[in-house]
Structure 1
Amino acid sequence: MGDIESWTFQEIAFKAEMDRHDDPESEEEAWILCAEDPATRARSIVELRNMIYERGECTPPRTDDAFLLRFLRARRSVPARAHRLLVRYCNFRDQNPHLWRDLDWFSLTKLGHIFEGVLYDRPDVGRLIIGRLGLWDPDEIPVDDLIRGCLLLLEIGIMQPKLQVLGGTALLDCAGLTMKHMRQFSPAVAVQAMNVMGFSFPTHQRGFHVINCSRVFETLFHFFKRLAPVDDLWKRVHFHGYDLNSLHRYIDPECLPKRYGGQRQEVSLEKWLIKIKQYKNKDFDNDMRTIGYATD
């Protein structure tokens, strides 16, 4: 793909980040990936909303159809499972208001390339999100800002019906990670990170892959795993060491950046947020304000 063609594709993809419309052509993917039946979708939303009011276990920031649908899609369209997820989501927000309340989301451009994405969303991978923690300087950026950045990526992304259906795949690159970095991850911070990445957030995690990691990190990861609830998410965690061929058995190189033997251009969180600010609209501001973020 040439430079001009690549630039044009990216601009179209950036504009599409503001899309809030369900594509009728994606109904088959919604059925395969989320067990969503157009004939019963409205009934499932009503059932979920009734559970919220009748059980009183949480107070969501919104209860409109579009908001509740993202929880149903994340839990195979089963209202009871979606309700449990919504309760965890609300509890997480209530317990960690410092991660989102009145946060100037654009300030997180300072995270630069620590988080990246590939704007090439496929049904088998969804949105690929990359964390490069070795680029993080703990002396300059507090660990809370890493969690804030990851949470923001997901909150904005999940506004798109397409990504609610496709879900996402996470790639954690441990190149350059040292014990100085690891000491920042207290058990409380580790639990926050795990909640954001799947336990308490309405996205169906397609896979979590760890590359360029040593046995020491893998051991620490399994220690933190004991702090989190038992969940099917753990079955989708894969360690690849320094073996790109192992990674390619799970993620088609067509979906990966060149540094991982792939073909795609990665986009830094910094650039993504700059483009979000460029193309955002009143609906986006309203969505962000509703879930507690500061807006212009």
Structure 2
Amino acid sequence: MSIFQEIAFKAELDRHLDPECEYQARIICEEDSTTRDRVVQELRNMIYERGECHPPRMDDAFLLRFLRARLFIPARAHRLMVRYCTFREQNPHLWRDVYWYGLTRLDNIFEGVLFDRPDVGRLIICRMGKWDPNEYPVEDLIRGCLLLLEVGIMQPKLQVLGGTVIVDCEGIGMKHARQLTPSVALQAINVMGFTFPIYQRGVHIVNCSRLFEKLFYVFKRLAPSDEMWQRVHFHGYDYNSLHRYIDPECLPKRYGGYRETVTVKEWLTKIKKYKNKEFDEDLRTLGYAVDE
């Protein structure tokens, strides 16, 4: 591993908003440093006054995640917070007492590219065909996705830039399809943008046959909004189609790009190496099991 990759891994726990990110926050999130504190307090007051949700945290850093995901509009950030808290209350099994580092067992399923660009954000890849339903329950996929997001948005940079998802269907068969029930599909939809405080730039489905594309469309009726579904793009086996949305500079070589991927095991192992007490406390507050 190169020294540049090691520096990139250390930066995964950076909680500072550098000047470049401050500029991007102003452009992408409409965040104004001169009014930031006032808007955060406005959101906090709204949560207390309306009493529609009980967030696990109420500090500025946590509330900023929701404001950045909703163009710094308190009312929209509040609606997102309510959905986030409701989802947590309805699905406690997805994180309560889940040992975060234990999700390295999903190593061959989730990957990422540590090359974050304003038009793409963080690229996360889910290789569904690598999942063995006989080895891990489908809920583990949702748990893995949630953990990637929760740890990722500890970085202000990723709160600002957001993310893009590639779902690679190569190798998917009927044994996988049988596990994708409407309730699981709804959980996945919620995690990928409707209830989670992240700017979801797009979901791109590749190596998908017409049969499974039709299956995805069956789940369309579960999508909470048409706007959300408009960010889902099917490319079949045509990587040129994918390149119209994602510059090859940001893509792994597998998809006609130039980047190396980082597996979830590599990523979480480095996170564990460089983490601190603040990281442990953040995950503990969310309900995850952490190292004692």
Q: TM-score, normalised by structure 2?
A: 0.98
Cα displacement (A) at 1:39: 1.6
The residue that corresponds to 2:42 in the other structure is: 47
The residue that corresponds to 1:208 in the other structure is: 203
Equivalent in 169, 186, 189 of residue 194 of structure 1: 189
3-state secondary structure, aligned to 1:20: coil
Tell me whether 1:78 sits opposite 2:73 in the alignment. yes
Tell me whether 1:139 sits opposite 2:134 in the alignment. yes
Question: What aligned pairs does 1:92-103 form with structure 2 within 5 A after superposition?
Answer: 92-103=87-98
3-state secondary structure, aligned to 2:113: strand
Tell me whether 1:220 sits opposite 2:220 in the alignment. no
3-state secondary structure, aligned to 2:236: coil
The residue that corresponds to 2:151 in the other structure is: 156
- Distance in 1 (alpha carbons) for counterparts of 2:62 and 2:225: 26
* C-alpha contact 2:128 2:169 (8 A) present in aligned 1: yes
- Distance in 2 (alpha carbons) for counterparts of 1:245 and 1:109: 32
Cα displacement (A) at 1:231: 4.7
Equivalent in 152, 164, 170 of residue 169 of structure 1: 164
Q: Which amino acid aligns with 1:118?
A: V
Moved more, 75-84 or 214-223: 214-223
Cα displacement (A) at 1:290: 1.0
Question: What aligned pairs does 1:6-85 form with structure 2 within 5 A after superposition?
Answer: 7-85=2-80
Cα displacement (A) at 1:191: 0.5
Cα displacement (A) at 1:150: 0.4
1:4-41 superposed Cα distances (whole Å, 9 cap, x missing partner)? 6xx22211111111111111332221111111111221
- Distance in 2 (alpha carbons) for counterparts of 1:135 and 1:150: 15
- Distance in 2 (alpha carbons) for counterparts of 1:25 and 1:213: 38
Equivalent in 250, 261, 273 of residue 278 of structure 1: 273
**Structure 1: which 5+ residue stretches go unaligned?**
none
Tell me whether 1:244 sits opposite 2:267 in the alignment. no
- Distance in 2 (alpha carbons) for counterparts of 1:293 and 1:125: 29
Q: Which amino acid aligns with 2:158?
A: L
Cα displacement (A) at 1:102: 1.2
Tell me whether 1:119 sits opposite 2:139 in the alignment. no
The CA RMSD measured in Å over matched residues stands at 0.9
3-state secondary structure, aligned to 1:240: strand
Equivalent in 245, 253, 274 of residue 248 of structure 2: 253
Q: Which runs of at least 4 in structure 1 moved beyond 6 Å after TM superposition?
A: none
**Aligned residues, how many?**
291
